[in-house]
Amino acid sequence: MPKVTRRRFLTLTAAAMMPLRASATTITEWHGTAIGAEAAIYLSHPDAPAIISRAVAEIERLEGIFSLYRANSAVAQLNTFGRLDAPPFELLECLALCGRAHAATQGLFDPTIQPLWQLYAMRFTEGRAPTSEQIAATMPLIGFSRVTYDSSAIALPAGTELTLNGVAQGFIADKVAELLAAEGLTDILINTGELRALGQMPGAAGWPVKLVSGGEVSLAARALATSSPFGTVFDQNGTVGHILNPRTGLPADTAWNSVSISAPSAALADAMSTAACLMPDMTAMQASCARFPDVRIEALV
């Protein structure tokens, strides 16, 4: 049985990223899941349980939009019927960000990769790789530029499906941060598989988080995402990674085991780190990141 729980590796290593050092202030922690990833919230506040309860409810609400594994989610309904009328605003907002990332990465970030991903998952479940003919037959279904969306409806070309797993974890972290910031709250670290720091760690200059490279980044009002081509694999031998190239139909062929990128938003960091795994070198990564203000490559391993 292939290991196809996407990005599981990241939640256990590079992107688990819990605080490295204790603070003099007592930190309340919550641990759970979001979009299939281990999730956590860290904060110091006398009303911490109530704040966490609201944040968890927001995570649950957004999973009802973005989860591929809930049959009644907005994304699942869109994939089933090829059209979604009166789509949730959050889905439209996320698709708009996907469009910007798609353009900045020259198409390497492409949420319509789902039919190809399903092909790989199905074939390796059967114990073999997809054939070149099967890959070629699936490639015409890939192409985010052919997806149409506005406030009235989202429409997919026939046979095309979306996966927002390369951005939704970060997007959810951002939305939880927005919810709490609107209440006047700060100094909270949100981990939904990707990290979003609202303010900084109480008593410190930022939230210190550890990278899989062994280094660390101090997050203050900033986000961090890590992607790994082999964070999830399709085959039992661990040689066929889950990040697929929408240009070639093949798994990422790169020297990087992981890429960590920071940005003002976790959704943007998430999308750019995913696409960076498909880029040939640092120059290409930097050129794509430069299309956005204040996006930085923090680590390559």
Mean local confidence (pLDDT), 100-116: 98
pLDDT computed for residue 266 by the predictor: 98
| Block residue for tokens 């309904």 | 77
Cβ-in-10-Å burial (0-12, 13-18, 19+) of 260 comes to: buried
State the greatest distance between any 2 C-alpha atoms of the chain, in Å, as a whole number.
60
Can you tell me whether residue 197 is helix, strand or coil?
strand
Mean pLDDT of 167-185: 97
* pTM: predicted TM-score of the whole model, two decimal places: 0.91
Predicted confidence band of residue 213 (pLDDT cuts 50, 70, 90): confident
- Taking alpha carbons only, the member of 117, 130, 207 closest to residue 166 is 117
Residue spans of beta strands (DSSP E) within the chain = 28-34, 37-43, 83-85, 148-149, 153-155, 188-191, 195-198, 207-210, 216-219, 223-227, 259-263, 296-300
**pLDDT of 176 above 80:** yes
Q: Strands 153-155, 37-43: parallel, antiparallel or unpaired by DSSP?
A: unpaired
- Residue 41 to residue 51: CA distance in whole angstroms: 10
Query: In the prediction, which pLDDT does 212 show?
Result: 78
Confidence of residue 14 (pLDDT cuts 50, 70, 90): very low
Distance CA 199, CA 226 (A): 20
* Residues 30-76: tens digit of each pLDDT: 999 998 889 999 999 999 999 999 999 999 999 999 999 999 999 99
Going from the N-terminus, what domains does the chain have, and what CATH number goes with each? 8-300 (3.10.520.10)
User: Residue 6: its pLDDT value, please?
Assistant: 34
Instruction: From 167, 203, 209, 166, select the one nearest 189 (Cα to Cα).
Output: 209
The DSSP call for residue 27 is P
pLDDT for 13? 33
- CB-based contacts of 214: which residues, under 8 Å, 6+ apart? none
Q: pLDDT category, 1, cuts 50, 70, 90?
A: very low
pLDDT of residue 28: 95
Rounded to an integer, the average pLDDT of 257-277 is: 96
Degrees to nearest 5, angle at CA 172 with 278 and 28: 115
pLDDT at 37: 87
Q: Stretch 234-256: mean pLDDT, rounded? A: 92
Identify the DSSP state of 26. Answer: P
| Cα separation, 288 vs 282, whole angstroms | 10
Tell me the average pLDDT of the chain.
Answer: 90
**What's the pLDDT at 12?**
28
Chain centroid to CA 228: 11
Q: For the residues 166-179, what does the mean pLDDT come to? A: 97
Q: For the chain, how big is the Rg over CA atoms in Å? A: 19
**Count of alpha carbons within 13 angstroms of residue 229, beta-carbon side:** 20
Between CA 221 and CA 108 the distance in angstroms is 28
Name every residue whose Cβ is closer than 8 Å to that of residue 222 and which is 6 or more positions away in sequence: 197, 206, 262, 263, 264
Q: Using alpha carbons only, what angle is made at residue 22 by residues 197 and 215, rounded to the nearest 5 degrees?
A: 65
Cβ within 8 Å of residue 232, ≥6 positions away: 3, 4, 5, 6, 7, 8, 9, 241, 242
Residue 254's pLDDT is what? 79
Quick: pLDDT tens for 273-297: 999 999 999 999 999 999 999 999 9
CB 116 within 8 A of CB 138: yes
Residue range 105-128: mean pLDDT, rounded: 97
